[in-house]
Structure 1
């Protein structure tokens, strides 16, 4: 009788534990409808929701566990458009941050990935920098990956996919880098694309790029702007003192860089990423697509 009573007690206890597990298990899982990976894709200048450019191919068919959201923003550059470049890009960064936080508030286990092209890459890199250095209310571990295609703020320190490059982005590198996000951030740049690969001695082009980046400046970033301007001036002085600055601003030097920039615009290098190979047989668009798909 004692043995039979013990068996009945054990059976009842095991059943109760099983019932408890069955009741509590769903509460530990992700909320219904939460993707494993949330990809925020930021198109380049003059793109819109109906024409995301190459990012349409980058994000197409990533898989059932991945949700894709194209980030809307003015995507303009000149004063006679909706917004100057600096204001347009700041809008893209703010919208990306807002979308990421909204998703993470609803789905804490979802991870974020960002991909951008041209001005969109500029914004995606700034978003990654803010998160990675603790300036955004998003934990760095929530960012699964970053892919920047033709980033105007590409740095020689960034994780480059493709052939080696000698220059850097036309807007100057992010002095704070991407912090804790850096190991998961990758940049792609066609060697002939001056937006992401300006020769270091093209100071006039770099100054113009800097002025575009700082148009409609954000007050909280004034220290960063000053540091970036100081870096350019320091390089000039190191190369040849005040005389080098005068030489760099000369008509001959300006014509040389304008001619080079016109050749770049005619070359199509900036729009060549669907065919530009970063690995034998693998284009930039294919690599970015495959990398995002693997993050889920």
Structure 2
């Protein structure tokens, strides 16, 4: 007993970082999250075909064509990707936004957690559009707060097009805006607190993107109500009119034309910018040892 007095137990050593990973592991894992009506729960994540016109295919396919699979694995999150109109008569038969968003988020987190377990030296590029931007942005926010499926240091970058939780602000925790910077906010912020059947508007992300903020980029076309809603345009009091406005916004021409939306003086479109951004990150990413 006397011999043990005064001894302070030492904390356990953290597990050592491995020096190599299995031969099949990609150097970089790119995760693409399609928007509303652009995916399906049973879609093939490596050859998505639920919607051949999916905007994110303009980003993921060029990456797949440019790099070998051992350098980058491109995984397109398969989820229901629907947005049921809760006031439609008769009901439109679609899954609710809440269910769709939850499924997409869960599938993205589960895949990343499994990949991190199997391939501890793989790094990540995250990208999403519309509802997919909300999902990818939410997961990035978790990672930036050290609550996500992978360590923040392993994420090379995050890019979001038409993020429904876009604040449009600058400063700590905020994404860098690419292209014209609209004065509005994402619909989930404009309608913060609205809770109608199947639709819960969650407001801004607490803490923004945390430690990933300096690696996160956001694109929003002016007048796209999904990411550029005037704060007073959508009212929680008049929730029926607001929900109808939101449902129409998903399919409006501005929201549907990001493949041609120019973000710089060189005529670069949003999808071309995102594909080039991802390619640059992959080119510069580490080449971990494999065994």
- Tell me the TM-score normalized by structure 2: 0.70
| Partner secondary structure for residue 89 of structure 1 | helix
Question: Which of 279, 282, 288 is the equivalent residue of 2:264?
Answer: 279
Give the conservation status (yes or no) of the 8 Å contact 1:194–1:261. Answer: no
| Partner secondary structure for residue 124 of structure 1 | helix
Greater gyration radius: 1
Give the conservation status (yes or no) of the 8 Å contact 2:125–2:278. Answer: yes
Give the conservation status (yes or no) of the 8 Å contact 2:165–2:205. Answer: yes
Partner of 1:29: 20
In 2, Cα distance between equivalents of 1:261 and 1:94? 23
Gaps of 5+ in 1: 1-26, 208-247
Question: Which of 63, 77, 80 is the equivalent residue of 1:74?
Answer: 80
Distance 1:30 1:174, change over 3 A: same
In 2, Cα distance between equivalents of 1:142 and 1:195? 30
Distance 1:72 1:182, change over 3 A: same
Encode CA deviations 1:91-130: one digit per residue, 9 max, x unaligned. Answer: 1111111111111111111111111111111111111111
Give the conservation status (yes or no) of the 8 Å contact 2:168–2:181. Answer: no
Encode CA deviations 1:22-55: one digit per residue, 9 max, x unaligned. Answer: xxxxx94332122221111111111223126011
Distance 1:99 1:164, change over 3 A: same
Question: Which of 147, 172, 185 is the equivalent residue of 1:168?
Answer: 185
In 1, Cα distance between equivalents of 2:184 and 2:114? 37
Encode CA deviations 1:187-237: one digit per residue, 9 max, x unaligned. Answer: 111112110000122241xx3xxxxxxxxxxxxxxxxxxxxxxxxxxxxxx
Residue 273 (structure 1) shift: 0.8
| 1:59 pairs with 2:71 | no
For residues 1-296 of structure 1, the aligned pairs below 5 Å read: 28-48=19-39, 49-50=48-49, 51=51, 53-62=54-63, 63-64=67-68, 65-78=71-84, 80-81=92-93, 83-157=95-169, 158-172=175-189, 173-204=204-235, 207=236, 249=238, 268-280=253-265, 281-296=267-282
In 1, Cα distance between equivalents of 2:115 and 2:244? 44
Distance 1:182 1:259, change over 3 A: closer
In 2, Cα distance between equivalents of 1:162 and 1:102? 35
Aligned residues: 224
Larger RCO (CA within 8 A; separation ≥ 6): 2
Gaps of 5+ in 2: 1-17, 40-47, 87-91, 170-174, 190-203, 283-291
Residue 131 (structure 1) shift: 1.1
Give the conservation status (yes or no) of the 8 Å contact 2:127–2:136. Answer: yes
